[in-house]
Amino acid sequence: MGGCVCLQTKIIKYIKIGKTSISIQKVKAFVKPNVTMQVYGCNKDGPPVKDLPIAVMMFKPLDLAQQLSWAIATRENKSFFDARAYSRLILQGSRAVQDPVAVKFIQSIVDDIDFHQVINRTQHLADFLSSITEWLQQHTTNSIVGIDRFQPDFSAGTTQSFDSFYWRHRNRRMRCFVGEYFYHIKTWTSTATNWSFITDQDQLQSGDALVLSVPFCDTGNQPDNFDTVIKQCEQLSIPILIDACYYTISSGIDLDLTSPAIDTVAFSLSKAFPVAHLRIGVRYTRDSVFDGQKLHNTINYNNIFGAYIGKKLMTQFKSDYIHSVYNEKQKQVCNQLSLEPSASVLFAVGDSKWNKYSRQHLLDSYQLDFDPKLFVNRISLTGVYDNWDIFKTVTA
Ligand SMILES: Cc1ncc(COP(=O)(O)O)c(C=O)c1O
| 18 lies in the same domain as 124 | no
Instruction: Give the ligand 1 atom nearest the CA of 93.
Output: 14
Residue to substitute in 97, 155, 158, 303 for testing ligand 1 pocket (most ligand atoms within 8 angstroms of CB): 158
Residue-level pLDDT at 15? 58
Distance 272 CA to ligand 1 centre (A): 11
Cα–Cα distance list, 98 to 122, 134, 253, 362 (Å): 29, 25, 24, 22
| DSSP label of 250 | B
Residue-level pLDDT at 259? 98
Residue-level pLDDT at 365? 87
Other C-beta atoms closer than 10 Å to the C-beta of 321 total 20
Strand 208-213 to 173-176 pairing: parallel
Distance 203 CA to ligand 1 centre (A): 25
Tell me the per-residue pLDDT of 312-336, one tens digit each, with 9 for 90 and over: 999 999 999 999 999 999 999 999 9
Residue-level pLDDT at 21? 60
Residue to substitute in 249, 268, 303 for testing ligand 1 pocket (most ligand atoms within 8 angstroms of CB): 268
User: In 3D, which of 238, 255, 237 has the Cα closest to residue 246?
Assistant: 255
CB contact set of 124 (below 8 Å; sequence gap of 6+) = 118, 304, 307, 308, 311
Q: What is the DSSP string of 291-354?
A: -HHHHHHHTT-S-HHHHHHHHHHHHHS-TTHHHHHHHHHHHHHHHHHT-EEPSBTTEEEE-GGG
User: In 3D, which of 197, 272, 221, 267 has the Cα closest to residue 378?
Assistant: 221
Residue-level pLDDT at 23? 57
Domain assignment present for residue 372? The answer is no
Residue-level pLDDT at 60? 55
Residue-level pLDDT at 224? 87
Question: Helix, strand, or coil here: 188?
Answer: helix
Question: Helix, strand, or coil here: 267?
Answer: strand
Residue closest via CA to ligand 1's atom 1 equals 217
H or E stretch including 66? helix 64-75
Distance 268 CA to ligand 1 centre (A): 8
| 1 lies in the same domain as 51 | yes
Instruction: Give the ligand 1 atom nearest the CA of 270.
Output: 10
pTM of the model: 0.86
| Structural domain that includes position 298 | 100-316
User: In 3D, which of 89, 139, 357 has the Cα closest to residue 349?
Assistant: 357
Query: In this structure, what CATH number is given to the domain that contains residue 215?
Result: 3.40.640.10
| 157 lies in the same domain as 300 | yes
User: Which residues of the chain fall below pLDDT 50?
Assistant: 1-12, 25-41, 50-59
Distance 183 CA to ligand 1 centre (A): 8
| 211 lies in the same domain as 304 | yes
| 278 lies in the same domain as 168 | yes
Q: What is the widest separation between alpha-carbon atoms in the chain?
A: 78
Residue closest via CA to ligand 1's atom 4 equals 245
Residue-level pLDDT at 24? 53
Domain assignment present for residue 83? The answer is no
Domain assignment present for residue 373? The answer is no
Residue-level pLDDT at 17? 57
Instruction: Give the ligand 1 atom nearest the CA of 267.
Output: 11
With a Cβ cut-off of 6 Å, ligand 1 is lined by: 94, 157-159, 181, 213, 217, 243, 245, 268, 270, 276, 281
Overall domain count for the chain:
2
Phi, psi of 195 (to 5 degrees): -155, 160
Question: Helix, strand, or coil here: 133?
Answer: helix
Residue-level pLDDT at 320? 98
Domain assignment present for residue 4? The answer is yes
User: In 3D, which of 68, 84, 20 has the Cα closest to residue 336?
Assistant: 68
Of the three residues 291, 316, 341, the one that is the final residue of a domain is 316
Distance 278 CA to ligand 1 centre (A): 13
Domain assignment present for residue 245? The answer is yes
Distance 155 CA to ligand 1 centre (A): 12
Distance 33 CA to ligand 1 centre (A): 41
